[in-house]
């Protein structure tokens, strides 16, 4: 595959004040009881179809550890049978064949390994890894799903960027659950104009954990 066909997305679900987890890692606040009357409803079939378009996932070790905890608690594995790359310098348990570990230069890994093999590459957290991805200019788009809650403190969606990242707002969707999904293209990327419509992905991926 030509690496110009590939697309790197960062996606997470956050509180309105920009946190992806409490300081201790809890995400109990993801489930809210809000109802936005004018919002769209989630179509399960569309979500399933959209998830099939994702070719691989990339995550930081702390996000992986959360996923391991959720699985141990019986909530399942949110990433299906898709290749899942975990960034870590530590020895972590490998709980399934689809999981692979990587440590080192993220630019090299994304451009020379992932972009050559996968079309739709999803970075699914956490804050450290999403910032690293943006800081290094590796992301094509950012999908930010806002849950209708303020939690005051926690782990930020974007940790320590040290520079501005100009974005183009490409899509906005509001759902009956009160979640708002924003899709931004990172300006200056070669495939900025590409448009991919999505159903309520954030809720789905995180709700499997929550
Ligand atoms: N709300 C949401 O949608 C959402 C999504 C994802 C995660 N979360 C939450 O966010 C929290 C985790 O986020 P976080 O920002 O603390 O951590 P993170 O981004 O998940 O993981 C950061 C760690 O990944 C490893 N790493 C990063 N880049 C690396 C590289 N190039 N090479 C080798 N290792 C690398 C390092 O750990 P090592 O020490 O292992 O090297 C680093 O400390 C969890 O509580 C999780 O539940 C929420």
Give the model's pLDDT for residue 208: 46
Q: Which residues line ligand 1 (CB under 6 A)?
A: 12-13, 20-21, 25, 27, 59-63, 66, 87-90, 103-104, 106, 124-129, 132, 155, 159, 206
What pTM did the predictor assign? 0.91
Hey, which bits of 24-110 come out as E strands? Answer: 56-60, 84-87, 99-102
Give pLDDT, residue 210.
Answer: 32
- The whole-angstrom separation of Cα 100 and Cα 84 is 6
Q: Take atom 6 of ligand 1 and give the residue whose Cα is closest.
A: 125
- Please say whether the beta carbons of 134 and 2 come within 8 A: no
Residue nearest to atom 25 of ligand 1 (CA): 88
Per-residue confidence (pLDDT) for residue 86, from 0 to 100: 98
Tokens of 205: 């991926």
Beta strands in 29-112 (DSSP E): 56-60, 84-87, 99-102
How do strand 180-186 and strand 141-147 relate by DSSP bridges? antiparallel
88: CA distance to ligand 1 center in Å?
Answer: 9
- Contact in structure between 85 and 94 (CB atoms under 8 Å): no
pLDDT number for residue 200: 57
Both structure tokens of 126: 């956490």
Tell me what pLDDT residue 2 has.
63
Phi, psi (degrees; rounded to nearest 5) at 54 = -85, 130
User: Ligand 1 centroid vs 128 CA: distance in angstroms?
Assistant: 5
| Closest among 53, 48, 51, 88 to 68, alpha carbons compared | 88
Count of positions (residues) in the chain: 210
pLDDT at 197: 53
CA angle, 131 as apex, 110 and 64 as ends, to 5°?
A: 70
User: Residue 68: its pLDDT value, please?
Assistant: 95
Mean pLDDT by 10 residues, the chain (210 residues): 84 97 94 94 90 97 95 93 98 96 98 97 96 96 98 92 93 97 90 52 46
Identify the H or E element spanning 11: strand 7-15
Give the Å distance between the CA of 179 and the centre of ligand 1.
24
Say what the pLDDT of residue 33 is. 93
């Amino acid at each position: 595959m030509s690496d110009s066909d590939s697309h790197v997305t960062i996606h997470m679900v956050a509180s309105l004040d920009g946190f992806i987890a409490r300081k201790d890692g809890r995400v109990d606040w993801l489930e809210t009881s809000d109802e936005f009357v004018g919002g769209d409803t989630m179509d399960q079939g569309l979500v399933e179809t959209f998830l099939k378009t994702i070719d691989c996932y990339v995550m930081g070790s702390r996000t992986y550890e959360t996923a391991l905890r959720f699985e141990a608690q019986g909530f399942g594995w949110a990433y299906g049978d898709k290749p899942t790359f975990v960034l870590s310098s530590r020895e972590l348990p490998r709980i399934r064949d689809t999981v692979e570990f990587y440590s080192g230069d993220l630019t090299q890994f994304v451009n020379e390994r992932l972009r050559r093999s996968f079309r739709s590459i999803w970075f699914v957290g956490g804050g450290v890894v999403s910032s690293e991805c943006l800081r290094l200019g590796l992301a094509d788009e950012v999908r930010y799903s806002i849950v209708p809650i303020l939690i005051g403190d926690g782990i930020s969606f974007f940790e320590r960027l040290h520079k501005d990242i100009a974005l183009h707002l490409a899509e906005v969707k509001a759902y009956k659950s009160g979640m708002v999904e924003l899709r931004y293209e990172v300006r200056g990327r070669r495939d900025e104009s590409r448009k991919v419509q999505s159903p309520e992905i954030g809720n789905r991926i995180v709700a499997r954990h929550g």
